[in-house]
Structure 1
Amino acid sequence: MKQLQTQIGCLAGLALLSSSLLGTLTLTAPPALAQAVPSEVRRGYTLLNQGLVDQAIRVFQQVLRSNSQSLEAQLGLAIALRRAGRDADAFNAYRRVLELDPNNRLALLTVGVLGGFRPEWQAQGIEALNRLLTINPNDNEARAQRALLLGYQGRFAESLADYAIVLQNNPTPEAVLGAAEIHAYAGEYQRSLDLFNRYRATGRPIRDGQAIAYALALRETGSAGQAVEVLEAELRRSRTLDSITIQIRSALASAYAANGQVNQAASVITPLRGRQDSRLALARALNDIARYSSSPAYAQEAIALYREVLQSPQLTVGMAREVADVLSGYPSEQGLALEVYRQLSQQQPTDVGLQVQVAVLERQVGLITNQTFQQRLQTYFQPLPPDPAQLRAIAQALIRLDSPSIELLPYYQALVNSGVNEPFLNFRIAQIHIRRGDLASARSALVAYSATSAGQQDPFAIQLLLAEIDRREGNPEAAAQRYQSILVSNPGDRGVVIGALQGLAGIRQSQGRTAEALTIYDQIVALDPTDYAKVLGRTSLAYQAGFLGVGEAEAVLNAWLASRPLTDTPPELYSLAGALPANPQREPLYNALLQADPENIPVRIRQLQVVSVRNPQLAQAQIRQIIARDPDNLGAYFVQAQLAQEQGNLGLSAQAYEEILRRSPGNIDALSALGGVRFQQRRYNSASMIYSEVLAIQPNNPAAQSALLGLTAAQGNKLEALAQIAAMQSQAAQMGGMNQVLVRQAQQIEESFLQQRGFQPYWERF
C-alpha cells in the first residue's frame, strides 16, 4: 500500500516560474514623468530605455546620494538593478521604494515575484502581494504569484484557494503552469496533469522545475515510464550540477524507482551524496526508493537526512511540513514529527489541517485517548470549513490512521459527502465497515475507491481487503486464492507481500493446516529478521496451533513488553495478547491495546475476563454500554456472547449470537459459535442442525467438521467418528498436508475410547 506523503519537491527559491512572469511586467519608466522631476532622474530613465543599464544605475545612485527621498530615482534604481540581474540588490531597492510609497503596484508585485527566488524572501513576497490584493482584489497577476509563493511554503490550502479564483478568470499560460506545479506538490495529481495538458496545448514547453512537477503528476497517476522520459530529457539539457540539476536527479531517481528501475535510481543520485546543498533532494529520492523497493536501508538513510534538514538555518515552513509529513509515516520518528507539527500549528493557528494532523499523531503515539481524539475532531467538524483545500488537508491527516476505529466513520463519511478530492477516504471507510461486520457496505466503498485513478494504481490494497471480506463471508478458499494471486504478481511493496502472506497463513491456520501456516509465517520473518513484531505473530500462530506452550509464548510476549513502550501496538501484539489466557498482570497491556483499538474482540474478551474475576456483573455492564453506544457493532455482540459463555451464562451467550444472526443472516462465525453453545447445553440435535447449516454454506469449514465429529463421539459413536476422521485426513493428504486439528481430535477420541475400556493409551506409557 502506498505511503500517503506530501511531496513538495518544489524548487522554492529557484523562481523558475517567476522569471517568466517577470518578463510580462512593465519594468520601464512611468509613462510620463512630471516636468518637476530632476533632469538627472530623467536622464537615468533615458539611459535605461536605451539599454545602458550600468550607466543608469550610476546615475540613479548619484541622485539618491543627494536626495534619498526621491521616489522616482529609487524606483529607477530598482528597475535597473533588476535589469542587470542583481536580484538581491533589486529586492532591497524595491523594498526601499515601498518605504517611500507603500502602495506602489510595480514595487509590490516585483517584491512578490522576487520572493520566489529565495526561500528567505518568500514571506516578504507574500506580505507585499497581500497588500496589493487588499488595494485591488481583482488583480489576477498578483493573486497567481501569491498562490505560487504560498505553495512554495507548503501552505497548500491557501495556495489552492487562490488558484481556484485565478483559474476562473481567464488566466495567463504562466498562471496555468504555476497552478499545475502547485497542484502536483499538493497531491492533486490528476488535477495537476489536467492543468499541465492545458498548458501544453498552448505549444509551450515544460522545463526545469515545472518539468519536475509534471513528472511527479505523471508518476502518481500511473505513468512512471513517461515521467522517466521527461526527466531524462531535462537531465540531458543540464551542464552543471546546479540547484535545478540536483532537483532533476532527485525526481528522476523517484521516477526510476516507481518504474521498477531501482539500480538506475540509486545510480542517478550518486553525485548528490555528501553535499550540503542537496540534503533535502537526496532525502526525497531515498524515501521514494524505500517506498517503491521496501528497502529499510534506504529508509534509514532518508530519515537521517530529513533530521539534518530540520537543523538547517534555511528551513522554511514548507520544508518543515514536508519533513514532518514524511517522518510521521515512520513509527520511530512520529515523536519528532509531532513536535514539528505542533510548532507549525502555532505559527499557523487557522490551518485546521495542521491541527488535525497534530491530533492524529497524538492519538497514534498514545498521548490522547480515543475519546479525547473524537472530541477534538468534533470541534473541527462542527461545522466543516467550506474551503475545499482545508477539507482536503483534514482528509489527508485522517487517512494516515492505518486502522481507524468504528466511531470515526461519521467523520470520514462527512468528508466524502462534502465532495473532498481524496479517494483513499473510501478505502478507510471500507476498513471500518469490515470491522463493523457490514460487508456489503465495505464492498461498495471499495468499488468507489477502485473507480478512481488512485484506486487503479493501488490494486493490491483493494485485493487484500476483498480477501478479508471473502474470509468473513465464509469463503476462505476464495480469500486464499486472492492472497496467492497477489504473491504471484510479485508486488514491489514489501508491506503488500507481508499482508498477503499473513492473510494466507491465517487462512491455512483456520483450515487446520497449521504446519503450512507456520512455514508461510517463516517467510514473513525472513523478509525482515529485525522486525520483532513478526516474531510475535509467529509465536501467536505456533501457540494457537499447539506447537508452543503457554510459558514459551508468554516469554516472547514479556520480552517485547520489556523492550517497548505500551504505546507501540503492532497488530501482532494484539494477536498474541488475545490468544494467551487472560492474566490479571496483563490488564495494563489490555487497557493500552484497547485505547488504540477499542474494537479488537480477542483483547476485549481478555480484558473483560480479568474484570469478570473481580466483578462478573461489572464486566457484563461494560459490554452492555459498548452495545448501547453502537447497536450495529457486531463485534460487541461477539464479545458479549463469549464473555457470557465464559461465565457459564449459556442462555445470554445464545441470545447474543442469535442477535448477530438477526442482523447478519448467514454469518458463519456466529452460526458456528451458536452451535458450540448448543453443544455445551447438550442440545446435540440442535447443534448438529446448526453445524450442518454451516457446512451447507461452507462445505470445508474445519470448525464445523470438527464439531460434528465431536458430536458423533459425544453421542457414543466413537468408532464412526474415527472412521470419518480417517476419510477426511486421506482427503487432506491429497491436498498436500495433514490437518493437525483432526490429528489431535482423533487422539483425544482414541484416548477416551481406550480409557473407557480400561486400557492405558500407548502415548501415556512413557
Structure 2
Amino acid sequence: MQQVGSQFGAACLFLLSAGTPLIATAFAQPAQAQSANSNVRRGYTQLSQGLVDQAIATFKSVLNQSPNSLEAKLGLAIGYARAGRDEDAWNAYQRVLEQDSRNRLALQAVGKLGGFRPEWQPQGIAALTTLLDITPDDLEARAQRALLYSYQSRFTESLSDYQIVLQSPNPTADVLLGAAQAYTYSGNPTQGLTLFERYQAESRDPIGKNAAIAYARALRETGNPSKSIGVLEAVLPSQLDDFALQVRGELAQSYLANNQSALALGVLDPLRDRADARLPLARALNEIGKQTSQTALRGEAAQLYLAELQATGTTDTTLVREVADVLGGIPGQQQVALNLYRQLVQQNPNDRILAIRRLALESRLGSLPQAQVIQQVQALLQPFPADPAQQQAVAQALIPLEPNVALLPVYQALLQAGVNEPFLHFRMAQLLIEQGNLAAAQAAIATYKASPQGTKDLAPDILLADIDRRQGNYEASAQRYLRLLAVPNLDPDVAYSALRGLAGIRVVQNRAVEALALYDQLLQRNPGDWQLRLGRTAIAYQAKLISAAAADAVLVQFLQFNPGETPQEFYTLATLLPPSPQREPLYRALLQADPSNLDVQVRLIQVLSQRNPLEAQAMANRLLVQAQRMVTANPNSTLQTLFLRGRLAAALGNLKQAGDAYQAILSWQANNLEAVSALGGIRFQQRDFAAASQLYSYVLAFQPDNTTAQRSLAELAAAQGNAIEALDRFNFIQSQQGGGPENQQRIRQLQESFLQRRGFNPSWERF
C-alpha cells in the first residue's frame, strides 16, 4: 500500500512541477480529475479494509472516467488478485505493464501469478527478469524466477538463481524445498537430498505432496529405495487423479530399484490406455526397460512419448526436449531423436547444452565425423562456463558423447570445479586407459564405483577387463567378460561391449574362430549393424580366413550403402588391408575425418613412400615430433612412441631403425609379445631367419595358439627350403583354425613345388 501511495503522490508532484501548459492538459476537466483521484484513494482504502468487491467496483468506475489512470489499473489488478480471480488479475496487471513496463509491483505480481498456470510461466519469467534488472538484490524475485524456471524444466537457469538465493544467511523453507526439487530433477539427487534434509531440520512442516515425489526420487537415486517406497505409498491417493498418476509412475521405479519388478509393473496397470497417463507411464516403462533389459518395454515407452508428442504438437519445447533425451537412448528411435534435437537447436540457437546433446547423437549415429563433432563441442565450450549450474549441465550433456582425448581437459576442469556427475570419472578412466595411465584409470574407476550410480553399474567391469588385456592378462580379461555375460537381464549395451571385448581377447589369443562365433552372436541380435559386419570381416581377414579380395568387397559395399560414415571398424578394416595406391583417396578422406588416426597415417606413408619418398619422410617426421611432445607431456606414452617409431620406420623401409625401436621396447619390457612379434617380422625381412625363428618361437611359448607366429614360422621354413616342415606347420594351422583360403592356397603351392622338385607333376596339372 505505501508503494502504491508513493507512486500516486509522485505522479501528482510531477504534474505540479511541470508547468502551466502540462497542468492545463492533465486537468482539462478539473472537477472530473479531482473526483477520479478521490475515488482512487477510496478504492485503496476499501482494499485495506478488506472490502475487495467494493474496491473492484470503485476502480472500474474510475477507469470508465479515466481509462489511463495507472493507479486505478494497479488497484483493480490488486483487487482481482485478492478476490481469487486469477485470470482477471493477470490481464489487469498486463494492462499496467503496457502503460508502465517497469512497474515493480506489477512485475512482481506477474512473476507470482506465472506459477499458477503453465502457459503463464514464460511471461512470469520475463517479468521477473525485468524486475531483477531494476533490483538485482531482490532475493524473493530471484527465488520465484528459479521456481518458474524449474517448472519449465530449464534447470540450468533455475539452479543458477537458486545458488544465489541459497547463499543468503537464512533462505526460507519454500526456497529450500524448491531448490531441493530442482537439484533432484536436474540429475543431482545427492544435493537434492541434502536440501530436503535441511528443509526437514529447519521447518516443522512435512514435505508436501508434489515435493514428496522429488524427495522419493532423491532417496531412490542415492541408494535408499525402501524409504523412497515408504514416502510414495504414504501420499498415494485412492482416487486416480493427476497426482496419483505421477506417484504411481515414480513408485514403479522405486519398486524396481528395490528388486520388486512384479510390483513395479503392477502399480502401472491402472495407467494403461489413459491419455492423461501417457507421460508418467512412458517414463516408468522406459526406466524399467533399461534396468531389466526388456527392449519391448522401452519400445512401448517410445510409442507413448510419440503419441503424446503427436497429441500436443512440438510447440511445447520442454516436452520435445524430454522426448529427444529419452528416444536418443532407445535403439531404432535415435534418428527421430536427432531430428527433434535439430529442431530444438534451430529454435534455440544460443542453447549450447542442446547443441552438445545434438552433436553427441550425431556422433553416435555416424552422421557427422568424429573430428567435426569434437571441434564443434570445443567451440561451444569457449569460454568455459563459470556458473556451477551451467557446468553441471555441460557435464550431463557430455556424458552420451564417446570420450576423445581432446576432451580430457574439459573433464578435468569440470571435476576440479566440483561438478557432481559421477559418470565423468568413468569417462576419465576411458581416456586414461587410452593414454596408458592404467593406475590413474583404476583410481577413477574406483571413485565411480563408490558413487550411488556406480554401485549398480556393471560397465566399469568392461574397463577393468580392458586394463587386464593391456597388462597382458588375457585370460583374466576373458573371465571378467564371461562373468558379465552370465549376469541375468544384462543391460544390452554392457552385453554388447562384453561380447565385443571377449571377441577382441580371442583375437589377441589367436582364437579367431571363437572370436568370429562371438561376432555371429552379435550379428544375430543386430543383423543390420554395419559396424559389426566390418569388425567381423577385419577379424576373418586378419586370421587369413578370407581373402583380401573378399575383405575389400565388404569395404566397397559399406562405402556404397553408407556414404560419409566413418565408424572405427571401417578404419580398422581399411588399414588391415595391404597399402594400395588405389586407396590413397580413401586414406586421405579418412584422415580428414580423423586427423589423429595413426593406422591410416602409416598406410598413407607406405603409399607415398613408393610415389613420393620425400613427402612420406616429411609426414613421418611430423608424427614423430608430435609423439615426442606427447612423451614430454606424459611420460607414460613412451611405449606408444617407440611403437610408432618402429611402425613408421618399417613403413618407410628403414628396417634397421624399426628393429632398433622394437629392441628398445624389449630392453624396457622384455616380455612385450607385441614387440617380440614385430621384431620377428623385421628380422624376417632382413633375412636373419635364425633370429626371426627364435623370436616367433618365444611368442609361441607364451601363446601356443598364436596363428600369426605359427604362420610366420611356416613361411620361415619355406624360405629356408624346408618344405616338409613348412607343410607340417601349415597343415597344423589348417587343422586348428580352419586356415581359410589363403592357407589352403599356400599348402597347395608348397605341395606343387615339392612334387615338381622331385620330377612329378601334381595331379591337378596333369591334363
Report the AA paired with residue 682 of structure 1: R
Letter in 2 for 1:191: Q
User: How far off its partner does 1:487 sit?
Assistant: 1.5
The one of 41, 47, 67 equivalent to 2:43 is 41
| Residue 117 (structure 1) aligned with residue 122 (structure 2) | no
Question: Could you tell me which residue of structure 1 aligns to residue 623 of structure 2?
Answer: 626
Structure 1 letter corresponding to 2:43: V
Report the Cα offset of residue 499 of structure 1: 0.8
Partner of 1:683: 688
The aligned residue for residue 145 of structure 1 is 144
Q: Aligned in 2, Cα 1:257/1:644: closer, same or farther, shift over 3 Å?
A: farther
Do the aligned partners of residues 627 and 492 (structure 1) sit closer, same or farther apart at CA in structure 2, a change above 3 Å counting? same
Match of 1:653 in 2: 658
How far 1:495 sits from its partner (Å)?
Answer: 0.7
**Residues 746 and 161 (structure 1), Cα distance of their counterparts in 2 relative to 1, 3 Å cut:** same
For residues 617 and 366 of structure 2, the distance between their equivalents in structure 1, rounded to whole angstroms, comes to: 27
Partners of 2:658 and 2:682 within 8 A in 1: yes
Give secondary structure in 2 for the equivalent of 1:237: coil
With 698-707 and 481-490 compared, the bigger mean Cα shift is at 698-707
Among 699, 705, 710, the alignment partner of 1:706 is 710
The equivalent residue for 1:3 is none
**Letter paired with 2:687:** R
Task: Give distance in 2, aligned partners of 1:194 and 1:761.
Answer: 87
Give the SS at the match of 2:488. coil
In the alignment, structure 1 residue 342 sits paired with structure 2 residue 338: no
Contact 2:352 2:380 in 1 (8 A): yes
Q: Distance in 2 between matches of 1:54 and 1:492?
A: 66
Q: 1:385 matched to which residue of 2?
A: 385
Q: Aligned residue for 2:465?
A: 467
| CA offsets 1:84-119 (integer angstroms, 9 cap, x no match) | 544333322333454566666554333223212333
Aligned residue in 1 for 2:496: 498
- Following superposition, the deviation at residue 400 of structure 1 comes to 2.7
Does the alignment pair 1:488 with 2:473?
A: no
Deviations 1:520-578 (A, max 9, x none): 333223334454543443344344444444454444444443333322x4444444444
Is the Cα contact below 8 Å between 1:154 and 1:322 reproduced in 2?
no
CA distance in 2, matches of 1:664, 1:367: 41
How far does residue 142 in structure 1 lie from its aligned partner after superposition?
1.9
Identity %: 46
Q: 1: distance between equivalents of 2:541 and 2:2?
A: 78
| Residue of structure 2 aligned with 1:565, choices 563, 566, 570 | 563
In 2: Cα distance, 1:505 partner to 1:529 partner:
17
Q: What is the alpha-carbon distance in structure 2 between the residues aligned to residue 190 and residue 591 of structure 1?
A: 48
Residues 526-675 of structure 1: pairs in structure 2 closer than 5 A: 526-567=524-565, 569-582=566-579, 590-591=587-588, 593-595=590-592, 597-600=594-597, 602-606=599-603, 608-611=605-608, 614-631=611-628, 632=630, 638=643, 641-642=646-647, 644-645=649-650, 648-658=653-663, 667-675=672-680
- Please report how far the alpha carbon of residue 131 of structure 1 lies from its aligned counterpart in structure 2 after TM superposition: 3.2
Deviation at 1:252, TM superposition (A): 4.0
Contact preservation (8 Å) 1:691, 1:707: no
Structure 1: unaligned runs, 5 residues or longer = 1-25, 730-736
Write the mapping of 1:1-80 to structure 2, written as runs, cut at 5 A.
Answer: 41=43, 44-45=46-47, 48=50, 61=60, 64-65=63-64, 68=67, 74-75=73-74, 77-79=76-78
- Displacement, 1:176? 0.9
Which stretch shifts more, 316-325 or 149-158? 316-325
**Aligned-pair CA distance for 1:193:** 2.0
1:678: how far off?
A: 2.3
Aligned equivalents of 1:487, 1:623: Cα separation in 2: 42
Distance 1:394 1:666, change over 3 A: farther
TM-score, structure 2 as length reference: 0.78
3-state DSSP of counterpart to 2:498: helix
Q: Provide the C-alpha distance between the structure 1 equivalents of 2:147 and 2:184, rounded to a whole number of angstroms.
A: 12
Superposition CA RMSD, Å? 4.7
Q: Is this contact kept in 2: 1:325–1:337, CA < 8 A? A: no
What's the counterpart of residue 155 of structure 1?
154
Q: Does structure 2 retain, via aligned residues, the 8 Å contact 1:473–1:667? A: no
Q: Following superposition of structure 1 onto structure 2, how do residues 91-490 of structure 1 map, counting pairs within 5 Å?
A: 91-99=90-98, 107-169=106-168, 170-201=170-201, 202=203, 204-224=205-225, 226-234=227-235, 236-237=236-237, 239-242=239-242, 244-255=243-254, 280-300=279-299, 302-303=301-302, 312=312, 315-329=315-329, 331-333=334-336, 335-346=338-349, 349=350, 351-354=351-354, 356-357=356-357, 376=376, 379=379, 383-402=383-402, 404-458=403-457, 460-490=458-488
Q: Which amino acid aligns with 2:478?
A: A
User: What 5-or-longer segments of structure 2 have no aligned partner?
Assistant: 10-36, 631-636
CA contact (8 A) 1:254 1:285 kept: yes
2:401 and 2:641 map into 1 onto residues whose CA distance is 22
The answer on whether the counterparts of 2:369 and 2:594 sit within 8 Å (CA) in structure 1 is: no
Q: Is the 8 A contact 1:435 1:599 kept in 2?
A: no
Letter in 2 for 1:489: V
Higher relative contact order (CA 8 A, sep 6+): 1
Whole-Å Cα distance in 2 between the matches of residues 289 and 313 of structure 1? 26
The equivalent residue for 1:7 is: none
Q: Is the 8 A contact 1:443 1:466 kept in 2?
A: yes
Any conservation in 2 of the 1:356–1:397 contact (CA below 8 Å)? yes
One-letter amino acid of the structure 2 residue matched with residue 206 of structure 1:
I
Amino acid at match of 1:628: V
Give the direction of change, closer, same or farther, for the CA distance of 1:363–1:114 in structure 2 (3 Å limit). Answer: same
The structural deviation recorded for 1:659 is 6.0
Picking from 487, 504, 507, the partner of 2:505 is 507
Instruction: Quote the offset at 1:603 in angstroms.
Output: 4.9
Q: Distance between the aligned counterparts of 1:611 and 1:46, measured in 2? A: 90
Secondary structure at 2:510's aligned position in 1? Answer: coil
TM-score normalized with structure 1 length? 0.78
Q: 1:536, 1:556 within 8 Å by CA — same for their partners in 2? A: yes
Aligned equivalents of 1:572, 1:375: Cα separation in 2 = 22
- Correspondence 1:686-765 to 2 at 5 A: 686-687=691-692, 690=695, 702=706, 706=710, 710=714, 713=717, 738=736, 756=754
Q: Distance in 2 between matches of 1:588 and 1:260?
A: 55
Q: Who wins on radius of gyration, i.e. which is larger?
A: 2
Distance 1:253 1:304, change over 3 A: same
- Between the aligned partners of 1:686 and 1:654, the Cα distance in structure 2 is 12
Which deviates more from structure 2 when the two are superposed, residues 211-220 or residues 366-375? Answer: 366-375
C-alpha distance 359-520 of structure 1, shift in aligned 2 (>3 A): closer
| CA deviation string 1:403-434 (max 9, x = no partner) | x3333333333333343333323322322233
Amino acid at match of 1:645: A
